[in-house]
Amino acid sequence: MIQKIDTERIPIKLWLNKLEPGALQQAKDLANLSIAFKHIAIMPDAHQGYGMPIGGVLATENAIIPNAVGVDIGCGMCSLRTNLKHIEQDDLKKVMGLIRQTIPVGFKHHKEKQAESWMPPLDKNLHVVSQEYESAMYQVGTLGGGNHFIEIQKGTDGYIWIMVHSGSRNIGYTVAEYYHRKAVEETKKRKKNIPPKDLSYFDQGTKGYEDYFKEMNYCIAFALQSRKLMMERVKDAFSEVIQDVAFSNFINKPHNFAAWENHFDKDVIVHRKGATRANEGEWGMIPGSQGTSSFLVKGKGNPLSFNSCSHGAGRTMSRNEARRSLNLKAEVEKLKELGVLHALRHKRDLDEAPGSYKDIQEVMALQEDLVDIQVELTPMAVIKA
């Protein structure tokens, strides 16, 4: 932990030296919630979000806040190790071409429904999920936009790795929006301890609480299945180009979710919004940007962070600011010098340029008490929307 703020109802513990004013106010809003437990933990990649900072960890007593999970429920990453220690540049380009043919990116969906076996089993009692299920069959195994990516990386262990970052697509967004509106209605009825609108919540035992928890968990399962399907398509691309390639060491970690956990001898609901669970010995992933290292880590189970760590480097500027202020030629030149097959083509892509992110090495240094680095991964090729 780097610093602590003691001016609110409960403390705020931060793993960074400076938090932008908007994100700091959001952290204070969390700390003043009547349902917030023990303290608020802010990870080193934190920046302003909706209601709660991205990179925030909040434990609550007997209540759940949809906006403290966010609109991309179950968003997370998975990694896979190949048995390859080298790949020729021409072969890598062929692999990337095949991936682009089988995995839609951005707003694109599959033209055909994917096999229903890739969908989590449907409970017809899930109101929003049932409505979105058919559409989701076209979206499972698609990447989406923003900071989602497919990346081929070279590890300090000598092996080539694959990493996928994606979420729950429209099904997760629709569930999040629907239950946030419901939570706002429920919160207004209480007429006391009213939090900011973006932190509206359901009390345990209410229908909204039960329904949201079930639909949230479905979206978490959907996001995992979607990543698994994309990973299968990436494996197929490798296998088509390279003989005798094999895969192992699959790791999956969501970073937008809420779950019952025991901390400080109490059962609480831990909300992680852009934060990764890091129990002692638990594997996780912390990516940088398409021009910087990513890391495979093992958690240290630090109770002060509610056994959490960062989910990435974190933004140093907004998307619009990046498009306005960064130089496309300079950002492309950086990637060219590194030899990365990158996804930076137009000025509109600058929101995902390396210059729009914090220094991942500094972020890792700030959380030495949260994780142990196992493998450092250098980007070789990246697909983004």
Catalytic positions: 311
SS3 string, the chain, reads CCEEECCCCCCEEECCCCCCHHHHHHHHHHHCCCCECCCEEEEEEEECCCCCCEEEEEEECCEECHHHCCCCCCCEEEEEEECCCCCCHHHHHHHHHHHHHHCCCCCCCCCCCCCHHHCCCCCCCCHHHHHHHHHHHHHCCCCCCCCCEEEEEEECCCCEEEEEEECCHHHHHHHHHHHHHHHHHHHHHHCCCCCCHHHCCEECCCHHHHHHHHHHHHHHHHHHHHHHHHHHHHHHHHHHHCCCCCEEEEEEEECEEEEEEEECCEEEEEEEECEEECCCCCEEEECCCCCCCEEEEEECCCHHHCCEEECCCCECCCHHHHHHHCCHHHHHHHHHHHCCECCCCCHHHHHHCHHHECCHHHHHHHCCCCEEEEEEEEEEEEECC
